[in-house]
Structure 1
Amino acid sequence: MRLLGKKVVVIYSGGMDSFTVLNKALQQGYEVHATSFNYGQRHSKELEFAKRVTEKLNIPHKIVDISAINQLILGSALTDDIDVPEGHYEEQSMQQTVVPNRNMIMLSLAVGYAVSVEAEAVYFGAHSGDHAIYPDCRTEFVDAMNEVCKIANYQAVEVRAPYLQSDKIEILADGLAMDLDYADTWTCYNGREKACGKCGACQERLEAFEKNGIKDPLAYE
């Protein structure tokens, strides 16, 4: 049952983590407004998955084109003409996938959206597995953004990252307990027909499925 008048905005990339966050908010009873961002990333495959899922769930979904900022946030393998590194997230090379200020930009826009629809919070999928590589997925960043977003408008908006202290293995376990179908998600940094299985995102995803004792429903090269 949805909580009467209780709305939240979910930043929804179409990947595993945000997919789990989206469904968690729904199962908590919130009226969910999903928003996805085209920030000039290498491919739009995740956004296609996001669109498909929100249509299936019949929830409001805005895909916002902010790709013009790509000219300002260069230097990442996800937005620039740089090869996507292969290997586990813990490798130094994975810092090449850091997009400058990405979460602050998306959270700011999502909070503005939350104010406009009178939502009480913005949910996003930061988790502990990202802490080593991505500064804007760390606890101190989320806490600081939460404090700012409570005073940035006449309406206070809370920033919530329900899996901030969980890794992808634990996130997947929670999603499986919610009976979620992860065939509806895309993780690979490359946007080809099949997932590459070699980039840090794929390796972390495959490890999560292995540790949970089940097979990933996605096809790999």
Structure 2
Amino acid sequence: MTLSASPTAADRSSVVIYSGGMDSYTVLHRARREGLDVHALSFDYGQRHARELEVAARVCRSLGVPHQVVDIRAIHGLIDNSALTDTSRAMPEGNYAEDNLTATVVPNRNMILLSLAIAKAVNIGAGRVDYGAHGGDHVLYPDCRPAFVEAMNAVAGIANFEAVEIHAPYLRSSKAEILADGLAMGLDYADTWTCYLGQALACGTCGSCRERLAAFAANDATDPLPYCQRPDPAAELAMGGA
């Protein structure tokens, strides 16, 4: 009889790229539900919506999850050609579409963040990096598409002596499907931040807010976040925001 090998420490550990948003919040809890030893990793790259980092820190404290915020603002001048990193640019409004939200693309962001997360995983002996790329981002963000994730996974397997798996559990899921999974887990999405402007209240008009509201509408649920302007969720859903 052949005995199966016992799980190693690497098999039981994951570095989760945790922005503080809905998707990474759900990924974080999903990894914990798998029984993994989770290490949350957030990045300050000079984003306008840095409030998400405060939310991420609060959640990790409440869960007792190790959390590291990496300050990479020194690269801001390399990635400032985006409305998310340049406060002088107007934030586009409306639903996610190539014609109006290309201004929110941060150059090479996920390759940068994944590279650093892989380094963290190798450093602490974790075998996996989780991040929240999802199907709704495919039209606009090349670094959220399956081809990118598959290529990065291949590179992560050979870039170090210890192979690291890139795990994107919602790669082919919509925002509404991610939310449905989280609601089934009993998650409280008041503990997330989505708005690109990062003000005291969510704006309700940027593409990120509208996609979020549409996801709640698709699940017949009410978003617990307060908004400056909360559009009619039925209208958001009818426009295909989810």
TM-score interval, normalised by the smaller of the two chains: over 0.9
Q: Give the counterpart of 2:150 among 138, 143, 150.
A: 143
Q: Matches of 1:4 and 1:68 in 2, distance apart? A: 36
Q: Which ranges of structure 1 fall in alignment gaps of 5 or more residues? A: none
For residue 57 of structure 1, what is the aligned residue in structure 2?
63
SS in structure 2 of the partner of residue 9 of structure 1: strand
Q: TM-score, normalised by structure 1?
A: 0.97
- 1:142-197, CA deviations, whole angstroms, 9 ceiling, x for partnerless residues? 00000000000000000010000001000000000000000000000011111000
For residue 97 of structure 1, what is the aligned residue in structure 2?
104
Q: Matches of 1:62 and 1:192 in 2, distance apart? A: 23
**Alpha-carbon offset, residue 44 of structure 1:** 1.5
AA matched with 1:87: G
Q: Matches of 2:40 and 2:8 in 1, distance apart? A: 18
For residue 38 of structure 1, what is the aligned residue in structure 2?
44
**Alpha-carbon offset, residue 4 of structure 1:** 7.1
AA matched with 1:136: D
Does residue 214 (structure 1) correspond to residue 202 (structure 2)? The answer is no
Q: Matches of 2:63 and 2:210 in 1, distance apart? A: 28
For residue 123 of structure 2, what is the aligned residue in structure 1?
116
For residue 163 of structure 2, what is the aligned residue in structure 1?
156
Q: From the superposition, tell whether residues 181 and 4 of structure 1 become closer, same or farther in structure 2 (CA, over 3 Å).
A: farther
- 1:56-82, CA deviations, whole angstroms, 9 ceiling, x for partnerless residues? 000100000001111011210001121
Runs of 4+ in structure 1 over 2 Å off: none
Contact 2:49 2:195 in 1 (8 A): no
Q: Matches of 2:8 and 2:28 in 1, distance apart? A: 18
For residue 134 of structure 1, what is the aligned residue in structure 2?
141
Does residue 182 (structure 1) correspond to residue 189 (structure 2)? The answer is yes
Q: Matches of 1:51 and 1:150 in 2, distance apart? A: 30
AA matched with 1:24: R
Q: Matches of 1:197 and 1:168 in 2, distance apart? A: 16
Percent identity, please: 61
Does residue 84 (structure 1) correspond to residue 91 (structure 2)? The answer is yes
For residue 204 of structure 2, what is the aligned residue in structure 1?
197
Does residue 75 (structure 1) correspond to residue 81 (structure 2)? The answer is yes
SS in structure 2 of the partner of residue 40 of structure 1: coil
Between stretches 138-147 and 78-87, larger displacement belongs to 78-87
Q: Matches of 1:56 and 1:157 in 2, distance apart? A: 28
For this pair of structures, how many residues does the alignment match?
A: 219
Q: Matches of 1:179 and 1:165 in 2, distance apart? A: 22
Q: Matches of 1:29 and 1:101 in 2, distance apart? A: 31
SS in structure 2 of the partner of residue 151 of structure 1: coil
Q: Matches of 1:167 and 1:201 in 2, distance apart? A: 13
Q: Matches of 2:83 and 2:115 in 1, distance apart? A: 23
Q: Which has the larger radius of gyration?
A: 2
SS in structure 1 of the partner of residue 42 of structure 2: strand
CA RMSD between the two structures: 0.9
SS in structure 2 of the partner of residue 35 of structure 1: strand
